[in-house]
């Protein structure tokens, strides 16, 4: 029997498109993530323009590179991410919707990471070119060219197609290449200071590298192996229960690993208001999750602190619609349980009770009796844009938050935004 509420057929007429002059800014190519990256590049171009009249020196280029690398690294630190979310979501719902619409794009902060990393790499290339032209000491050039080769490898593996096809390789290159880059930057600083005769602690490089080093090392100081209790309601899903540490806040995520130096996977925390600990819903989506569901390990590794996710922006709106498919219910559930904001769930999944178990479905319906659940085993795949539009209209929501796979998330978010409906979803940049 279908759990879809009567009247939600997905055949509602879609709202009209925004005027072309406004709609162009809703195109994925101009999303806030890319705008932030472009802003970082623009600031660097402005700095270059100001420095050109006096001539750009190797020292200027080196320090410009280091500042950009610091931005790229620090913007990914968990505590800073949580602070950004706290500041952005502090705005009251009485503010104009257009302002809150923009503030809720806070999770696009990764654009600063991309812009900083790219600008830093280009500045470092300028530094190496100038150092070579000025016949810098051989040891400086050896370390500098080693860094250039390393930066090129890191940048190449981040190209979207290569990253998607070889994600595990990207993660290893990013982690170990990043660590090695930090070591080489320290060596380069020591070598340059040795040639200049200056005091190490008197150089800006020393302090910037010290901050970067502490920021990179900090999450690993919290590395620990913790017990996990796994329930497998079906061969497609595992529900992992944790009781270690403090209960995480709703909307946060935890990264877990079975081999901490190789790969990490983040999942949304599902804390229950009346229970100790929290749960993670893990669905079969690849080799790692498949092995996790089949093997059901007794322990996993965790590190760092829990970090805010996209759905935390719900508090910026009076009413929201959550659109989820499959295991996307995981990131939605803690917000539905917390009931901080009036919400309506639209969930498309295959055989929900058989896949996720009666317990989870009953828990959802207890807090969302009007949830619109579409069983794809009986009804086929729905038009999620239409379902989202209908729910947005019927519920009088101000925004839609979509948790799904990459293709469908982009489809829903872009489909709604170009019609003037604030919509949000993951951007797969971590």
Sign of torsion over alpha carbons 296, 299, 302, 305: positive
Residues 291 and 347 in one domain: no
- The whole-angstrom separation of Cα 251 and Cα 104 is 14
Q: Would residue 4 count as lying in a domain?
A: no
* 286: Cα separation from own chain's centroid: 19
Residues 35 and 181 in one domain: yes
Q: Of 289, 308, 327, which residue constitutes the final position of a domain?
A: 308
pLDDT along the chain (430 residues), means of 10: 45 82 87 96 96 92 97 96 96 97 96 96 97 95 96 91 85 94 97 92 96 96 95 92 88 92 90 83 89 94 91 97 95 92 96 93 95 94 95 97 94 95 88
Q: Would residue 320 count as lying in a domain?
A: yes
- The whole-angstrom separation of Cα 301 and Cα 257 is 5
- C-beta of residue 388 within 8 angstroms of C-beta of residue 12: no
- The whole-angstrom separation of Cα 176 and Cα 261 is 9
pLDDT score of 12: 63
- The whole-angstrom separation of Cα 47 and Cα 67 is 12
Provide the domain count of the chain.
3
Q: Would residue 356 count as lying in a domain?
A: yes
CA torsion angle 336 366 352 340 (round to 10): 0
Helix axis angle, 138-157 to 110-133, nearest 10°: 150
- C-beta of residue 93 within 8 angstroms of C-beta of residue 120: no
Place of tokens 């409906």: 421
Structural domain of 409: 315-425
Residues 344 and 284 in one domain: no
Q: Of 172, 203, 221, which residue constitutes the final position of a domain?
A: 221
Residues 276 and 341 in one domain: no
Residues 263 and 122 in one domain: no
pLDDT score of 7: 39
Q: Would residue 25 count as lying in a domain?
A: no
pLDDT score of 430: 61
Whole-prediction pTM:
0.92
pLDDT score of 20: 87
pLDDT score of 193: 95
pLDDT score of 381: 92
If we measure between CA atoms, which residue out of 338, 319, 330 comes closest to residue 253? 330
The beta strand positions in 285-330, using DSSP E, are: 299-302, 307-308, 320-325
- The whole-angstrom separation of Cα 182 and Cα 173 is 13
Residues 56 and 82 in one domain: yes
Residues 65 and 164 in one domain: yes
CA torsion angle 25 26 29 30 (round to 10): 40
Residues 368 and 244 in one domain: no
Residues 120 and 266 in one domain: no
């Amino acid at each position: 029997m279908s759990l879809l509420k009567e009247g939600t057929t997905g055949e509602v007429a879609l709202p009209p498109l925004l005027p072309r002059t406004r709609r162009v800014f809703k195109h994925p190519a101009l999303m806030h993530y890319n705008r932030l990256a472009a802003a970082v590049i623009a600031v660097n171009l402005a700095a270059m323009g100001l420095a050109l009249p006096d001539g750009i020196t190797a020292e200027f280029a080196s320090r410009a590179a280091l500042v950009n690398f610091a931005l790229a690294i620090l913007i990914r630190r968990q505590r800073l991410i949580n602070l950004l979310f706290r500041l952005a979501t502090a705005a009251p719902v009485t503010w104009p919707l257009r302002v809150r619409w923009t503030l809720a794009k806070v999770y696009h902060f990764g654009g600063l990471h991309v812009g900083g990393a790219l600008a830093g790499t280009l500045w470092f290339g300028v530094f190496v070119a100038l150092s070579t032209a000025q016949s810098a000491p051989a040891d400086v050039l050896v370390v500098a060219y080693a860094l250039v080769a390393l930066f090129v490898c890191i940048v190449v593996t981040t190209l979207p197609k290569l990253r998607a096809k070889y994600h595990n390789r990207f993660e290893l290159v990013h982690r170990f290449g990043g660590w090695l880059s930090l070591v080489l930057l320290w060596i380069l600083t020591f070598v340059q200071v040795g040639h200049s005769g200056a005091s190490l602690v008197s150089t800006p490089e020393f302090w910037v590298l010290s901050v970067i080093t502490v920021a990179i090392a900090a999450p690993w100081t919290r590395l620990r192996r913790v017990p996990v209790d796994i329930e497998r309601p079906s061969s497609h899903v595992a529900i992992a229960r944790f009781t270690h540490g403090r209960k995480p806040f709703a909307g946060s995520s935890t990264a877990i690993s079975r081999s901490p130096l190789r790969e990490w996977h983040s999942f949304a925390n599902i804390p229950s208001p009346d229970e100790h600990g929290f749960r993670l819903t893990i669905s079969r989506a690849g080799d790692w999750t498949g092995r996790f569901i089949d093997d059901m390990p007794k322990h996993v590794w965790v590190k760092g602190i829990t970090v805010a996710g996209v759905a935390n922006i719900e508090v910026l709106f009076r009413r929201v619609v959550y659109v989820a498919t499959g295991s996307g219910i995981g990131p939605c559930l803690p917000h539905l349980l917390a009931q901080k904001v009036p919400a309506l769930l639209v969930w498309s999944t295959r055989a929900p009770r058989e896949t996720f178990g009666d317990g989870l479905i009953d828990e959802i319906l207890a807090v969302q009796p009007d949830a619109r659940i579409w069983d794809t085993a009986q009804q086929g795949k729905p038009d999620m844009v239409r379902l989202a539009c209908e729910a947005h209209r019927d519920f009088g929501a101000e925004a839609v938050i979509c948790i799904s796979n990459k293709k469908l998330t982009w489809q829903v978010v872009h489909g709604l935004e170009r019609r003037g409906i604030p919509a949000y979803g993951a951007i797969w940049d971590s």
